[in-house]
Amino acid sequence: MSLRESLESRRFVITTELEPPKGTDLTGFLAAAARLKGKVHGINVTDNQRATMRLSSVGGACALAREGLEPILQLTCRDRNRLALQADLLTAWVLGVRNVLAMTGDPVGAGDHPAAKPVFDLSSAALLETIGKLNSGQDAAGNALEGSTDFFCGATVNPCIEPLEPELQRFEEKIAAGARFFQTQAIYDPGAFRRFIKSARTPSVYIIAGLIPLRSVKMAEFLNEKVPGITVPREMIERLRKSPDPVETGLEIASELVDELRNLCQGIHLMPVGRENGFAILERLALVK
């Protein structure tokens, strides 16, 4: 069953993400994906995440589709103009990719090619509108296509950031541009997420709440200090500090968060932050049917 079908049939979904390799060896990438088969409803393939050069997300997503998995193509506006974005989307569709997550992209200065020139020809909302045109059989300039796409379009939202009003405005713009589902920044405060859900007009879209299992006090404090919109409560940090096994405690916290969030959203997006053991939470959730 596709991600779209799962959400439309009101299943509670689990998605996660994998980074393509920095090179041409797909062995580890495909092995990790194989271990996720049957445990998630979709796998994001990141697009030069943290502005670090890797195999393209189009290549990675197409490789997963070839293996019978359900890829979610992350596509950022940072690296391509509208011609290249559309060409990559058509290529992905022809090779079996059906889901797209439109993103702005991390600043190039944060990555391993700081001298690279950012493009940003389109905003993420404009990219969603462009995908909508491809779905209707036209390119961004209104020219007819020889065969259209039918992408299931998604975007991102940061529901716990302060102030919330500008984020709500961007959220509404992305819905108007064609986003059908949203994956969020990691949630550690269900109360703040509940306020977002009440403030946002969400009946027409599916919200998949972000989850990063904590591994240590250092990790929790890093998220608080460096990642906008993430607040790990002090009681969670103290719980990790007092634990003889912080990784196990982090998994317990993650399971508790899922229990609190599942009545507020339509799924969970697991972000393991580069550690394969981050997928251990999937064994506890056992939500994929």
Instruction: Give yes or no for a cis peptide into 163 (omega within 30° of 0).
Output: yes
pLDDT at 277 over 80: no
pLDDT bin (cut points 50, 70, 90) of residue 201 is confident
CA 202 to chain centre: 18
Q: Among candidates 51, 52, 56, 47, which has minimal Cα distance to 76?
A: 47
Element (DSSP H or E) covering residue 256: helix 246-261
Query: Rounded to 5 degrees, what angle do the CA atoms 55, 59, 65 make?
Result: 135
- In whole angstroms, give the CA distance from residue 49 to residue 63: 18
How do residues 11-39 score in pLDDT, each as one tens digit? Answer: 999 999 999 999 999 999 999 999 999 99
How do residues 242-269 score in pLDDT, each as one tens digit? Answer: 999 999 999 999 999 999 999 999 999 9
Bridge-based pairing of strands 71-76 and 206-211 is unpaired
For residue 289, what pLDDT is reported?
Answer: 42
For residue 122, what pLDDT is reported?
Answer: 98
pLDDT bin (cut points 50, 70, 90) of residue 283 is confident
pLDDT at 278 over 70: no
pLDDT at 287 over 60: no
Q: What is the pTM of this model?
A: 0.94
- In whole angstroms, give the CA distance from residue 62 to residue 13: 21
Fold of 3-212+268-284: TIM Barrel (3.20.20)
CA dihedral 213, 216, 217, 218 (to 10 degrees): -100
First to last CA, the chain: 10
3 state SS of 139: coil
